[in-house]
Amino acid sequence: MNPILKCKTFKGHEAEASWQAGLKLAIRDSKQLLELLELELEDEPFRNPLEQSVEVRTSIQDHAHFPLFVTREYVRRMQIGDWNDPLLRQVWVDARERIEQAGFVADPVGDGESEIAPGLLQKYSGRVLLVMTGACAIHCRYCFRRHYPYSTGPRTLSDWQAALDRIETDRSIKEVILSGGDPLTIVDSTLAQLVSRLDEIEHLERLRIHTRLPVVLPQRVDRGLLNWLGSTRLSKWVVVHINHAQEIDHHVQDAMTRLRSTGATVLNQAVLLREINDTVEIQETLCKRLLQNSVIPYYLNQLDPVQGAAHFETEIATGKMIVRELAKRLPGYGVPRFVQEQPGQPNKIRID
Ligand SMILES: *Cc1c(COP(=O)(O)O)cnc(C)c1O
Ligand code: SF4
């Protein structure tokens, strides 16, 4: 079947057929989420962590900036009645976020220092990253940019002029990465114009998109997106973000097929998360599901120490053990590199 036509048939979910409608209908209220999942707040496992430790200081202000937010499409893949569902745990705001832990900071990856023009980051040779928006279709509680000062960045196409000029004058830049937040929360007309500007910069060779929308809102991969992505002269790389095989349903599978129909190579990065995906079996199942869909497991990231996410951290030894074990079970291209971002380094550091 033509994958582009298939995306029009979201049976039974007419209201969410467009991605904009899906965003509007996303869940922002914890009571509503619990109702959908048939869960009772009084059974929540992490209600009172502060009672368990008298030493912690707490900061509550952060919740207002990064509230609960998750699409219905993603919620539908959660298990009813399971507080420990690996998808629920990625989005549920629990009290442990208020624990301030030494070493867990607002900007763990040194984004601020690598800004070379408004919204344009360069840390590594040959590639630059555009922080295009703060908006996402899901709020992952462990997000390393959860405290990023997006509101000060460029908004309209003309705000991006300084960044485009900078890219144009530096012939060593071969790749532009659209990132955020999630760049695919931006409308296609704007993205199409930006990409056509990039097309005109002769020394550019590659376009990369870092996005979670094909996973949490698969109808985002619609005709409008396929049109501009399919028509750029740049080689196309889409890096999605899937942490657990349960996140991949047939809508996501179809979205991956549609992305690849533009000639894009689709890669995945996952974050290693305590009690969510920190076993060999879970990672093996994830990698196999990705490979079934021609998605290459690219990076397995050690958690960046962002304030409020300390309870997701795993031991480095756990990640090492997992990827070594995966290497025995999967083809070489099916084993992700276990990496960590270390501020000031010339690349992401392999720690496997
Ligand atoms: C992670 C990142 C990249 C991409 O690094 P790769 O190792 O090429 O995936 C590029 N620029 C910035 C600023 C980054 O944080
Ligand atoms: S989708 Fe990515 S940028 Fe958005 S909240 Fe999740 S990890 Fe952060």
210 close to ligand 1 (CB < 6 Angstrom) = no
212 close to ligand 2 (CB < 6 Angstrom) = yes
Atom of ligand 2 nearest to the CA of 145: 8
Closest CA to 66 of 161, 181, 160: 181
Distance 197 CA to ligand 2 centre (A): 26
The count of other CB atoms within 10 Å of the CB of residue 91 is 22
Mutate to test the pocket of ligand 1, among 120, 124, 239, 338 (most ligand atoms within 8 A of CB): 124
Closest CA to 295 of 223, 247, 341: 247
Distance 171 CA to ligand 2 centre (A): 30
Please give the pLDDT value at position 61: 43
348 close to ligand 1 (CB < 6 Angstrom) = yes
Q: For the segment 66-75, what is each residue's pLDDT rounded down to a tens digit?
A: 999 999 999 9
* CA distance linking residue 288 with residue 206, whole number of Å: 27
241 close to ligand 2 (CB < 6 Angstrom) = yes
337 close to ligand 1 (CB < 6 Angstrom) = no
* CA distance linking residue 268 with residue 245, whole number of Å: 12
Please give the pLDDT value at position 19: 97
Three-class SS state of 176: strand
Cβ pair 302, 273 in contact under 8 A: no
Distance 122 CA to ligand 1 centre (A): 8
> In terms of pLDDT, which residue wins out, 179 or 1?
179
Closest CA to 313 of 190, 169, 142, 148: 142
Q: Is the pLDDT of residue 58 over 50?
A: no
* CA distance linking residue 63 with residue 128, whole number of Å: 30
Structure tokens at 176: 């532009």
For the chain, percent helix, then strand, then coil, each to nearest 5?
40, 15, 45
Q: Is the pLDDT of residue 9 over 50?
A: no
Please tell me whether the peptide bond between 22 and the residue prior to it is cis, using omega within 30 degrees of 0.
Answer: no
∠ at Cα 336 (338, 180), nearest 5°?
A: 80
Judged by its nearest atom, the ligand closest to the C-alpha of residue 124 is 1
Q: Whose CA is nearest to atom 8 of ligand 2?
A: 143
Average pLDDT of the chain is: 91
Query: Which value, to the nearest 10 degrees, does the dihedral of the CA atoms of residues 189, 193, 196, 202 take?
Result: -160
* CA distance linking residue 35 with residue 13, whole number of Å: 19
Mutate to test the pocket of ligand 2, among 70, 139, 140 (most ligand atoms within 8 A of CB): 140
Closest CA to 182 of 151, 138, 149: 138
Query: Which value, to the nearest 10 degrees, does the dihedral of the CA atoms of residues 36, 42, 45, 46 take?
Result: 100
Atom of ligand 2 nearest to the CA of 271: 7
120 close to ligand 1 (CB < 6 Angstrom) = no
Structure tokens at 165: 């000029």
Q: Is the pLDDT of residue 207 over 50?
A: yes
CA distances from 54 to 99, 116, 252 (A): 11, 43, 44
Atom of ligand 1 nearest to the CA of 109: 15
127 close to ligand 1 (CB < 6 Angstrom) = yes
pTM of the prediction? 0.92
Of 1-10, 111-120, 172-181, 238-247, minimum mean pLDDT range: 1-10
